[in-house]
Structure 1
Amino acid sequence: MKRIFTVLLFFMIFSACSRAEDWDIKYDERGIPLVEVVLLNDKHTLMLDTGSSNGMHLHRDKLERLARSLNQKIEPSQVQRLVDINGNERQVSTLLINKLEVSNVYFNNFDVIELKPWGLTIGSEQPTSEVMGLGMFDNQRIMVDFKMNKIQFINSLPINIQNWSPYLIQKTDSGLAIRTYVDNKTLHFIIDTAASHSITFNHRLPHNIKRFGCDIISPKSLSLDCSVIEFDLKNKHSQVDKGFAIAVDLPKGNSTDFDGLLGMSFMKGKKIIFDLPNNHLYIKK
């Protein structure tokens, strides 16, 4: 009887808050999450990139096919100018979507841009995977389970949400920002599932900060391969979780409105709820 009650309680916790659709998560060789979705009756493998404020990044031919299917044109005026951490500029064609079905889930009011590889890479080439960005999930609640490797779209928070760690997040032009602390100095990291490791910028760090070798985050690396610092993530109850970030230099003359990226090295193995309507993030180990 006790076992039956436990099963029923588990079912109630998740059926009360979730919709029917689940998406499976796989990973590339760098540990970046990938989701396989059906778009226009074709399967697409998209990199999940919460560090992108756009909806999707598609190859040019797929973007043009999507435009034709929606009886829309990619107008010359619909061009975005993007600048990445390295200071590289890209101009990309943009398609504005009012409503679109992706793997039995409907998404409203987002943009799809032409895929052009960009961003900061450390020791590897830039990825060429098509992308699903944060812009797809505007004002939604999604549970990204990096333990069971599932994405769920939920209508409400689980009834056991008090067992999760709550964090305040802020929507910025660069993405979702969360506060971190390095030697009691407040830094703002962008939550970025397309970053294999958390990173921060040397010029934003306190002087004389304790540094570690690269082998502390990757046993296969040599200590001198990179410089690593420890940061704290403090939830609304002042409970602290610790993580490591690679410290890098920004190109001269380049500046950002954030101090680093919270990458998959911190998020892997955890359950994370993005409660975007209320600007909260919930984490459960």
Structure 2
Amino acid sequence: MIHKTAKIHPNAVVEEGAVIGANVLVGPFSYITFNAEIGSGTEVMSHVVIKGPTVIGKNNRIFPFAVIGEVCQDKKYQGEDTLLLIGNRNIIRESVQMHRGTVQGHGVTTIGNDNLFCVNVHIAHDCIIGNNIIMGNNATLAGHVTIEDYAILSALSPVHQFCTIGAHSFIGGASVVVQDVPPYIMAQGNHCKPFGINIEGLKRRGFKKEEIYAIRKAYKEIYRSGKRIAEVKPILEEMAKEYPSIALFTQLIENSTRGIIR
């Protein structure tokens, strides 16, 4: 189950049954259980713990003392075979913790592609992490949190369970997120509050001027018009017919269980 091109340090422990892909590197004193699968080109540095059931994709880099696929910190968990799925090209820095799901949730914790998880990030059970996300040092997610594509969660910021952080949003450092954060916006504080649109981020990702203008207009409808969310929603739906990017606002509002930050 170990590809002939994989390089396993003699001081690493890889249990029989683990699947190790082509050109995988496993450093000294790392421990990989029998029910873990590691895709080709992934580098597992020294002192990493990977427990299964866990499936890790291709070309990831996992730095020392990361704990991947450990059982969750949830009293309801009774040893069920839940799962951690990790995509491709993620950078998982020192002491990051990623836990498997629970049967009461999705049964799986899901990590997408091309993400950066800085030192001591914690991702709890049943979280759904999209693509191209940055989580700063000591940013922590409770269970059942969703982070959408291109969102940035800065250092020292915890997120309450069942919250969603919308795509392209930027959360400033040491913020406490207890409600959903709509897409595209900048937010900060304890509790986290909105402070406008993440314009520079949108420009870097190729959003056109008219799209950014429409997003700003949608933001003003939500936060500055004095209207209730129920009144704003049909306006956003109408705007989304011309500018599909506005649909991310309506989708988050529709699916929100905790309400959006105000």
TM range (shorter): under 0.3
Give 1 or 2: higher strand fraction.
Answer: 1
Q: TM-score, normalised by structure 1?
A: 0.24
Question: Greater RCO between the two (CA within 8 Å, min separation 6)?
Answer: 1
Q: TM-score, normalised by structure 2?
A: 0.26
